[in-house]
Amino acid sequence: MVNLKRLVTPKKLKVYLLSTGHLVHDIYTSFLSPVLPLLIEKFSLTYTLAACLRLAIRIPSILNPFIGHIADGVGLKYFVALAPAITAIAMSLIGKAPNYLSIVILLIVAGLSSSFFHVPAPVILKRISGRKLGMSMSSFQIGGELSRTIGPIIVVGAISLWGFAGIYRLMPLGIVISIVLLLKLKDEKIPQHRSKKYNFKKSITKTLKQGKMLIFALLGIILIKSFTASVVSAFLPTYLSFKGYSLWMAGGALSILQAAAIIGVLLTGTISDMIGRKRLLIIVTFCSPLAMLLFLIGAKHALIPVVILLGLISFSSTPVILALIQESNFKYPSIANGIYMTISFLLSSIIVLFFGKVSDMFGMEKAFFISGICSFIGLPLVFCIPGEKQFGGHTT
C-alpha cells in the first residue's frame, strides 16, 4: 500500500507547489508561438520581425546574472511568487495590443518577470529537495513542459470563444497561483551566499573562472538545443499554418511536441540520478540533431510520430543541466544559474532570429533544413563536461 505521508511531506509539497507555479507561469509565455500566425497576419510582419518578438521576451535574460546576484544576497522568493501574476497580465493583453511596439513592450515585461521566476527557483528547489535533486528538477521542468503542452490549447480555445482580443480573460489563473505561492513560501528560509566583502563583479568573475569548462560544454548543448528545440517550438505553428493546416491543428501539433517533452524531462532527470549527468547529456545531445533531420524527412508523411520523437529527445536536457549546475559546488549558485540562463535565452533568441531571416530569404522549409545541419556544430563541445573528480555531484 502506498505510504501517502512519504509522498506528501512538507518539503515535497513545496516542490510540487513550485512545479505548479512553473506550470502556470509558463502557460502564459507559451501563448506567443500559437498566436504568432495571427500577429503576422494582423500586422503584416515578415518572419524576421516575427522572430524579433521571440527576442523581445528573451532580452531581459541579459539581467539574469544580476538577478542571481540579488538572489544570493537577499533571496527572491517573493519575486518567484509574484512572477506568475505579472506574466499572466502582460501575456493576456497581447490580443488587445494596438501595434507592434506595444506587443514588444508587453513581451519585455513578461520576459523580465520570467527571469525573476526562473533564476532563483532552482536554488529554492535545491534547498528543499534533499538527495533527490534530479527528481525534483524533473518535477519542476515537467511543470514547464506541461505548460507548453496545454498552453497552446488554452489560448487557441480562448480565441475560438472570445476572439483574439478576448484572451485577457485568462489572466486570473496567474494571479491566484501567485497568492498561493506568497502564502506558502513566506516562511521558507533560503541561505544567503554573500559575505560583507561581497562584490558583484568579482563574484561573476569567480563563477566564470570556477566553471569555465562546464560553461564551455553547456555552450555546445545550448547550440544544439537552440537549432532544434527552440526553432521548432517557436515556428512549428507558423510552419504548419503556412502548409495549410488550421490554427487548431497547428497549435495541437505544438501541444503534442511539448507533451512528448514532458516524458523526456521526466525520464532524463531521474535516469541521470542513476547513470550520471555527463553520460546522459552526451547521449541526448548526440541524438537531438538526428531527430531534427528525421523531422524534416518525415513531417510530410508522418507528422505526429516525428513531432513526438523530436519532443521526446530535443527538450530533455534541461533538468539534467539544472541539476548539474546546482551540484557543481559554485560559491554563488544563483549567479551560476543566471549565467547559464542568460547564455541559453540569448543564444536561442539569436538563432531563432537567424532562422526568421533565413526563412525570409529562402523559405521556411529550407530554413529548417539549414537549422538541422547547424545543430551539429555544438557536438564536440559537449565532451568537455567536467568529470566527477573536477567538481561534486554525479556527473560521470
Each residue's pLDDT tens digit, 88-136: 999 999 999 999 999 999 999 999 999 888 877 877 777 776 666 667 7
- pLDDT of 39 reads 93
pLDDT of residue 358: 94
The ranges of the chain with pLDDT < 70 are 1-10, 68-76, 129-134, 187-200, 299, 334, 387-396
For 337, counting Cβ atoms within 10 Å of its Cβ (0-12 exposed, 13-18 middle, 19+ buried), the class is buried
CA angle at 373 for the pair 250 and 257, rounded to the nearest 5°: 25
Whether 386 contacts 395, CB under 8 Å: yes
Confidence at residue 249, expressed as pLDDT on a 0 to 100 scale: 81
Residue located via cell numbers 529562402: 362
Residue 129: the pLDDT is: 65
CA distance 332 to 195: 11
DSSP state of 72: H
Give the chain's mean pLDDT. Answer: 82
Residue 22, pLDDT score: 92
Q: What CA–CA distance (Å, rounded) separates 121 from 18?
A: 8
Length of the chain: 396
CA distance 226 to 352: 8
**Could you tell me the pTM of the whole model?**
0.73
Task: Using alpha carbons, list the distances in angstroms from residue 307 to 96, 150, 257, 344.
Answer: 32, 16, 5, 23
Domain ranges of the chain: 10-187+200-382
CATH placement of domain 10-187+200-382: 1.20.1250.20
The closest of 324, 303, 305 to 221, measured between CA atoms, is: 324
The whole-angstrom separation of Cα 281 and Cα 277 is 6
Q: Is 119 helix (H, G, I), strand (E, B) or coil?
A: coil
pLDDT in tens, 219-268: 888 888 889 888 988 898 888 887 777 888 888 888 898 888 888 877 88
- 194 vs 186: CA distance, rounded Å: 21
